Amino acid sequence: MSVLIAIASAHNTTTTIGQRIAARLATHIPGPVDVRPITEIPASNGIAPYSAVIVGSAIHMATWLPPARKFLTAQQVPLSERPVWAFSVGVPNTEEYAALEREKMEALVRKSVPQLRGHTLFQGRIEREQLAWPVALFFKWFPKSAKFGDFVEWEEVDKWADKVGEEMKEAMKVSK
């Protein structure tokens, strides 16, 4: 089984999470697990060599990054022919907002990939220097809304990757 982890990352956190998932998957399944930026995956036959796909994107302005959304649309047919999982990386400031964001991002992915096997939302990392000036200005005016730092919960990433790895193993047994 070969797995593609297709990543849309703005500040490298999503890529780092994708690499961690790849390392965990490698302990569960035989075959390569490749982590590639979505922008480097050819539109025609780019996912053809892979038997499963995980798509991950950072969340900016309450949605996935444009390259990730374009990837889902452009690869809709090939994605429908293989098992697909997805993850989002954001920094929701409350559990209520996290649940809403998780639901919204899963719905976004399911528009192009109705057979999606699973989606999760991971906490990410955000630094003040990464913000566009209008957003930084907002946080300057409303400092209680600001939430800066590294919030990645690596145990949650590992737990999700292990779950997906077990699901992939089961899928391999069924397809034999």
Bridge partners (DSSP) listed for residue 6:
36, 55
Q: Which of 95, 117, 92 is nearest to 106 (CA)?
A: 117
Range of the domain at 142: 3-175
pLDDT tens, residue order, the chain (176 aa): 899 999 999 888 999 999 999 999 999 998 899 999 999 998 888 899 999 999 999 988 789 999 999 999 999 999 999 999 999 998 767 788 789 889 999 999 999 999 999 999 998 766 656 555 555 545 555 555 556 667 789 999 999 999 999 999 887 665 54
User: pTM (2 decimals)?
Assistant: 0.85
- The rounded Cα 4 to chain-centroid distance in angstroms is 12
Strand-strand pairing, 3-8 and 52-60? parallel
The CATH number for 165's domain is: 3.40.50.360
Number of domains in the chain: 1
Q: Which of 3, 25, 10, 21 is nearest to 126 (CA)?
A: 10
Q: Identity (one letter) of the amino acid at 156? A: E
